[in-house]
Chain A
């Protein structure tokens, strides 16, 4: 576990920074909830005045903002899914390609360690970091809900925690695969970052314009849509299966490609 230990220590600072910032944002958002309930009427007026496209894009037509989870879904949830995905691709896209771009891979692979072992330990470091990030943010959310005395359905809360985790693992696995298979492995991170933004954009566009509604099935952001989770009181089995499938395929492909790759420096 030498490589895992080193990667964990090396990435700890980034984990702490991202977790603290996102957790802070969540607690701040939730602390405003009592005010929102108080001004419910005024807010209803404002929402009515907003363009329907915007209302639909942010699911304000189906979510009740005076319900704590509904409020969280429209305000905080999207920050976690989007920023978490950015964090995940930065982690997954960098951890292996850094060894290539800084040419330290020559040192590492001259030691008695199998390439598959390098992959295993680095992937594990990425997944553990992503899970810890989600755990810390979930804890912050829980504290946030408790501090405003909100009564929340625990199953829905658990689903709203698990869904972003799946999304982050998905993007981490894809960016890791790209970094192992691209000839210029340092391109993996910017490409995956672009993928995150494109997917997010497609999700928003599909929400605004009815004629593009079908696009939403392409975007994993749709798979973790908070409104659906709240309405169905749980995760969509098909969407989750697709995500798990893509994660598993990415991991397998990483092992297959990287084992046979010519390491040219």
Chain B
């Protein structure tokens, strides 16, 4: 069953960046990454899904319910972690979390204490005295405490140190075990690569690709490094080369064609060394972004 389903969702923001005919779906229990550079429409999509803003056209459903008409029901079973955290300065962390939970009519003090312990957060501190990383922890707890069926995370790791990121990812994997669906946006590709099952790539408000992570990395692209014997300056005009970079006698290629064709083209060159590797997501996306 699709937990999130977008059909030609469009939001025009006057002259500002919006989103255009965005369509994809997120299945139950998967961790779905949503990547794109800053200002590409990630937050606009999330804000529309949560009904902060109204779609201009198209529609979207969460749990099979309309995001505008049934927003209240959707929000009852959704946890949202914003990219930047803004809370009431006069409250203490624990107070904020109790206030947050009271909206769900649940008492989750045990889970709050447990998460605070794992994330190493002091609940009796005033919000205004918390660092941005610690505010983020409060936000993580308020998103998770009511055990939502869907987590929407907007740039979730910003402000967390690497150790905390590990803890956070471990918590997310546990959530996945419980069949929670996770939708996370990011511009940090390594974190998406680490945790997501599938990704959608958005650029200038439009979806470029929806792909299983492995397929994106393995099936299509190779990172090739050729070290030439001498500083010869011939162009490697091979079909399927997406990106070419030359540093002295080193040639870096991002290659999307057939390996056999590549070897045929290289066989006449005086090559000292050759590396064929899996590219990282960053290298693949640099290509998408630059176009």
Contact = CB atoms under 8 A, between A and B. Distances in A.
Interface stretch (A46-54, A107-115, A171-179, A216-224): A107-115
B289 interface: no
B53 A263 contact: yes
A264 B53 contact: yes
Contacts of A260: 54
Interface string B77-113: 0101010101111100000000110111000000000
Contact of B80 (A104, A110, A263): A110
A262 B14 CA distance: 12
B72 A106 contact: no
B52 A111 contact: no
A155 interface: no
Interface in B43-68: 47, 50-54
B50 A110 contact: yes
B98 to A, nearest CB: 10
Given A2-B103, A260-B54, A110 B86 contact: no
8 contacts: A2-B99, A106-B52, A110-B80, A110-B82, A111-B75, A112-B72, A260-B54, A262-B52
Contact of A263 (B52, B75, B78, B82): B52
A6 interface: yes
Interface string B225-237: 0000000000000
B99 A109 contact: no
A103 interface: yes
Interface string A226-265: 0000000000000000000000000000000000101111
B18 to A, nearest CB: 11
Nearest to B100: A111
Contacts of B89: 102
Nearest to B71: A114
A60 B86 CA distance: 53
Chain B, interface size: which category? 20 to 34
B99 A6 contact: yes
Interface of A: 2, 6, 10, 102-104, 106-107, 109-114, 260, 262-265
A260 B51 CA distance: 10
B54 A106 contact: no
B147 to A, nearest CB: 14
Given A106-B82, A109-B52, A264-B53, A10 B75 contact: no
Contact of A10 (B51, B73, B90, B104): B90
Interface of B: 47, 50-54, 72-73, 75-76, 78, 80, 82, 84, 86-90, 99-100, 102-104, 142
Interface of B, secondary structure class, is loop
Contacts of B82: 106-107, 110
A107 B154 CA distance: 13
Contact of A104 (B53, B54, B75, B86): B86
B77 to A, nearest CB: 8
Contacts, number: 55
A114 B72 CA distance: 6
Contacts of A113: 72, 75, 103
Contact of A112 (B88, B90, B104, B142): B104
Contacts of A110: 50, 75, 78, 80, 82
Contacts of A104: 86-88
A112 B76 CA distance: 5
B86 A102 contact: yes
Contacts of B87: 104, 107
A113 B87 CA distance: 17
B153 to A, nearest CB: 12
The 8 tightest CB contacts between A and B, nearest first, are: A103-B86, A111-B103, A112-B76, A110-B80, A262-B53, A263-B52, A112-B75, A2-B102
B99 A112 contact: no
B129 to A, nearest CB: 16
Contacts of A102: 86, 88-89
Contacts of A106: 52, 82, 86
A262 B55 CA distance: 10
A258 to B, nearest CB: 12
Contacts of B103: 2, 111-113
Contacts of B50: 109-110
Contacts of A107: 82, 86-87, 100, 142
Contacts of B86: 102-104, 106-107, 265
A71 B100 CA distance: 52
Contacts of B53: 262-264
Given A107-B142, A109-B52, 12 more contacts: A6-B99, A102-B88, A103-B84, A106-B86, A107-B86, A110-B78, A112-B72, A112-B103, A112-B104, A262-B52, A263-B52, A263-B53
